[in-house]
Structure 1
Amino acid sequence: MTTGNEAAAPAGSEGRRPAGDSGTVRTPAQVRRVALAGGIGTLIEYYDYALYGYVSTIIAPLFFPGSDPVASLLAVLAVFALSYVVRPLGGIFFGWVGDRYGRRQALMVTVIGIGVANTAIGVLPTYAVAGVLAPVLLVLVRVAQGFFAGGEVGGAATVIAEAAPRGKRARYGAFTPMGTNGGFAIASAAIGIVSGVLATQQLNTWGWRIPFLIGLPLTVVCYFARRMLPDIDQKVSLGKHGFPLVTALKSYPGSLLQATALGVGVQGAAYIGSTFISIYLVSNLHYPKSPVYWITAGVTLFAVALMPFTGRLADRIGTFKVATIGLAGYAIVTYPAFLLMDIGNLGLAALGYVAIMVNMAFLQVASFTLTPRLFPDEVRYTGTALATNISVVIAGGTAPYVATWLVQQTHDLRSPYYFVATTCLIGLIAIATMRKRLASDFAAAGAR
């Protein structure tokens, strides 16, 4: 007789081990090294993505000049979204490398590629210098960045999940979103410093390049952190036959669907908070740039600081419960938070921002802990990366564009809430079905 996940397991999955249950025992110091290296590597990825979003109002007329500033901004945000479209391709490629030849090789290449692409934006010519070549180069660099990023965060979540011991998976899983959101915070602080030190004219002509160039030393730090990883491939059974993508699609379609649906909830809510709101406060509500950037950095760091605690809470009360708290919280507080932001008081706007971002500390820790557990060793990197990237394409990279478009079309400054509510509902449905699927797996592994 079988129950829970055993009953739902697809053909060919007999003997599959949950993440972290492959039998090799790591010392606490080794686990911390894996978690730290995995998390810090994601920092450069999201530093770049956040930075591009934060400077979008500045570079829009530089690369897409025109008489309509909203149209220029939408063009820049469309390039932002385009870089996400290629992420699944990167996830497929680096998932194949990671599942077939080893996690380490894939993660070393992704962090270098992301960092080089990020730095390249800081040296691109503008439309005034290179004409139509300028936006073409911007698109090419963003596409390259998206390809490398496609293999990064899913791979980091995979290696951390495989290293974490039973009963402590969420607290170590928290290192992945701490890295991603740390990248957002550092990007916001970097542009905040530059915008505070330089005059508006200097910032708009050349000062915006400085934070992109800072990405190079950050890349070096992330690279050496990855080099110090213990043998992360020793404890997993790498696939030796077939293409991991085909195996994942054929044998684990339910897991891919559930992980993608959960990711839609995570990404839709997170990108509204971490990328769109700073644009919204400056472009729609006309708050001054520099204070907004600093508020964004502070609020994001506050959410990051909460993640070790929400990770421990998830290990104690259950990862599904913590994910539900995050999704429900986003759905409940986002609309009143938008109302607070529209009062005209920067302090109240910051309070509304905090109310939204607190939920990220719950939801992202839970999602990065749950998703790798849906897949066995031989397709875990591919499955996690593919689901994460597809959900980012659907609801993450498009979030700033869709939210800006909604405001423009409806003239309702609260209309982005409906996008958040829809994605949260999808995430809650995923959690409900995923809980049934993984019930026996979690029970057998001694985790919730």
Structure 2
Amino acid sequence: MRRASIAGLAGSMIEYYDFGSYAFLVVFIGPLFFPEDNSLISILATYGVFAVGYFARPLGALFFGGFGDRRGRRAALLVTVVGMGCATAAMGVLPTHDSIGVAAPILLVLLRLGQGFCAGGEQAGAATLIAESGGGRRHGLFQAFAPAGATLGSATAPAVVGLTTAVLGTDAMAAWGWRIPLLLSVVLTVVVLVLRLRVQESEDFTALAKTDRVARSPLRGTVKVHWRRILAVILLALAVNAPGAVLLNYMNVFLINTVQLPRTTVFWMSAVCIALGTSGYFLGGILTDRFGATRVVVGGLAAVAAVIYPMFLLVQGGRPVGFIGVVYTVALICYSIATTPVYAIATRAFPTRFRYSGVAVGMNIGGALGAGLAPLAAASLVASTGSPQSPALLVVGVALLGVTVALAVSRSAALRGEQSSEAGRP
């Protein structure tokens, strides 16, 4: 179980490092692949490619969910990490618009699609493998490893981009230095691949395969029999991903444009605060094992709803950077605490033969809706209300939605993992 958890953490870390690196390199990549007289148009086009990667994830979830339920979790996870690493490394050697013309942005879009497609099977597969290893001991704690790896990857990306920029300078970064953070993915991919090759197939899937009960059409069976469970997982994933997107993505814009902090300060502070925020995942796991997943989801989301508006207010007014960092870290920890039990609920909601498919589809659709649309919704709220604090209303709304769904889940024996048969019928 420890090997599966560490491999899951490493895989999630490289997934979000790859995605995050692209986001922080947008200012350099935009003019090279989408040359325009207006630099804003170039950046918007490059962010559009960023969104494409997110919305390719549900497609990857459909494919890798079925693949993992038919061929095994380990095999699927080996393919996802190699696919993500190769797509990111290929971006690092991609010719620019000046070299190959319109083919450059087309290839960039295709690579982002491939990256997002492979990422669609990554975290769900890691969570499934962890859930099925070790006989369920300390299920909550070990489920913290996959989301913690994602957040560490999000923290590593700005740190690497910032360090590379500091060493090379802005001119060199714009010319060729932007390729270095992307090519670093090759090293990370090799490390994760070595870790995953040492992990055995999960005990539950091995037992299922020995008795020839592996589903032939797992995706169809999952949707047909367990669509209510998929819907519950989608809503719970939406409820934790939307606050996460506001805290991890919109917060940088808020600190730079509204609080007027220097960009470099925001990048380094974000890296430190996000890294510290990962402690909340493990705290959430410990609490899940002690009090149950539903109570921790409800408590964590209630805490997020309670602190989000005060956080926006407290970081303004010329506050010291250290104070802003502490307030930001507290909000991140509350969000992290609420996230871990969602993984615990999702992996227990489906029987073994449909688990990878159910978790992958539910978590990725909810993640695409939450992480993909929340930053846009936050910006739209600011534009329509004129209040930079208005994204807090969005966070409160989705947090209350999550609390409602979690309470409904608490009344469902099937969604608590109490299936009476391998077919998963309550």
TM score, norm. by length of structure 1:
0.85
* Aligned position for 1:398: 373
Indicate the residue corresponding to 2:185 in structure 1.
215
Secondary structure at the counterpart of residue 231 of structure 1: coil
Q: Which residue pairs with 1:374 in the alignment?
A: 349
Match of 1:120 in 2: 90
- Where does residue 281 of structure 1 map in the other structure? 255
Aligned to 2:306: 332
Q: 1:93 to 1:411 in 2, by over 3 A?
A: same
| CA spacing shift, 1:204–1:399, aligned 2, 3 Å | farther
The aligned residue for residue 350 of structure 1 is 325
The structural deviation recorded for 1:57 is 3.8
Does the 8 A contact of 1:259 with 1:430 survive in 2?
no
Structure 1 vs Structure 2: percent identity of aligned residues? 36
Residue 16 of structure 1: aligned partner? none
Residue 351 of structure 1: how far off its partner (Å): 3.0
Listed as ranges, the matches of 1:54-93 within 5 Å are: 54-66=24-36, 68-93=38-63
Q: How far apart, CA to CA, are the structure 2 residues paired with 1:150 and 1:442?
A: 23
Q: Which residue of 1 aligns with 2:285?
A: 311
Q: Tell me which amino acid in the other structure corresponds to 1:389.
A: N
Aligned residue in 1 for 2:200: 230
Relative to structure 1, is the Cα distance of residues 222 and 52 closer, same or farther in structure 2, using a 3 angstrom cutoff? same
| Cα distance in structure 2, aligned partners of 1:368 and 1:440 | 12
Which sections of structure 1, spanning at least 5 residues, go unmatched? 1-30
* TM-aligned CA deviation for residue 389 of structure 1: 0.9
Which letter does structure 1 place at the counterpart of 2:293? T
Task: Report Cα offsets for 1:3-36 as digits up to 9, x if no partner.
Answer: xxxxxxxxxxxxxxxxxxxxxxxxxxxx211211
**Residues 134-149 of structure 1 correspond to what in structure 2 (within 5 A)?**
134-149=104-119
User: Structure 1 residues 420 and 273 mapped into 2: Cα distance closer, same or farther (>3 Å)?
Assistant: same
Shift of 1:321: 1.7
Aligned equivalents of 2:91 and 2:259: distance in 1? Answer: 28
Q: CA 1:423/1:121 → structure 2, altered by over 3 Å: closer, same or farther? A: farther
What does the per-residue CA deviation read over 1:304-345, in whole Å, with 9 as the maximum and x for residues that have no partner?
234333311221122212212221222222222222334344
Give the AA of the match of 2:251: I
Q: Secondary structure at the match of 1:397?
A: helix
Deviations 1:241-287 (A, max 9, x none): 44111111110011001000000011111122223323443455543
- Equivalent residue for 1:300? 274
Return the offset for 1:371: 0.7
Aligned to 1:27: none
Q: Is the 8 A contact 2:349 2:416 kept in 1?
A: no
Distance (Å, rounded) in 2 between the aligned partners of 1:387 and 1:245 = 12
The AA in structure 2 aligned to 1:425 is: L
Residue 444 of structure 1 deviates from its aligned partner by: 9.2
Q: Which amino acid aligns with 1:296?
A: S
| 1:205 and 2:175 aligned | yes
Deviation at 1:194, TM superposition (A): 1.6
- Separation in structure 1 between the aligned mates of residue 57 and residue 290 of structure 2, nearest angstrom: 34
Is it true that 1:196 corresponds to 2:166 in the alignment? yes
Secondary structure of the structure 2 residue equivalent to 1:437: coil
Give 4+ residue runs of structure 1 displaced > 6 Å after superposition: none
Tell me the matched-pair count: 415
Give the CA deviation at 1:104.
Answer: 1.2
**Do the aligned residues in 2 keep the contact of 1:239 with 1:379 (CA within 8 Å)?**
no
Equivalent residue letter for 1:336: P
In structure 1, what is the Cα distance between the partners aligned to 2:291 and 2:327? 27
Q: Deviations over 1:365-415 (max 9, x none)?
A: 111111111100111000000001101221112333433444455543223
Of residues 87-96 and 282-291 in structure 1, the stretch that sits farther from structure 2 once superposed is 282-291
Pick closer, same or farther for the CA change 1:439–1:112 going to 2, 3 Å. closer
Shift of residue 135, structure 1, vs aligned partner = 2.3
Question: Is the 1:374–1:438 contact (alpha carbons within 8 Å) kept by the matching residues of 2?
Answer: no
Conserved 8 A contact 1:41-1:225: no
> 1:138-181 CA deviation, whole Å, 9 max, x = no partner?
21111110111111111111111111444511011111112111
Calculate the TM-score normalised by the size of structure 2: 0.90
Deviation at 1:349, TM superposition (A): 3.2
CA contact (8 A) 1:54 1:278 kept: no
CA distance, structure 2, for counterparts of residue 226 and residue 103 of structure 1: 11
Please name the residue that 2:226 is paired with: 252
- Cα RMSD over matched residues? 2.4
Q: Which residue of 1 aligns with 2:339?
A: 364
Aligned to 1:243: 217
Counterpart CA distance in 2 for 1:254 and 1:110 is 27
CA distance in 2 between partners of 1:403 and 1:247 (Å): 37
Counterpart CA distance in 2 for 1:107 and 1:250 is: 25
Change (3 A) 1:130 1:356: farther
Residue 427 of structure 1 corresponds to 402
Letter paired with 2:114: A
| Residue 202 of structure 1, CA deviation | 2.7
Contact 2:151 2:278 in 1 (8 A): yes
Deviations 1:338-359 (A, max 9, x none): 2233434433432332132112
Q: Which letter does structure 2 place at the counterpart of 1:372?
A: T
**How has the CA–CA distance of structure 1 residues 158 and 296 changed in structure 2, closer, same or farther, with 3 Å as cutoff?**
same
Deviation at 1:74, TM superposition (A): 3.2
Secondary structure of the residue aligned to 2:90 is helix
Q: Match for residue 19 of structure 2?
A: 49
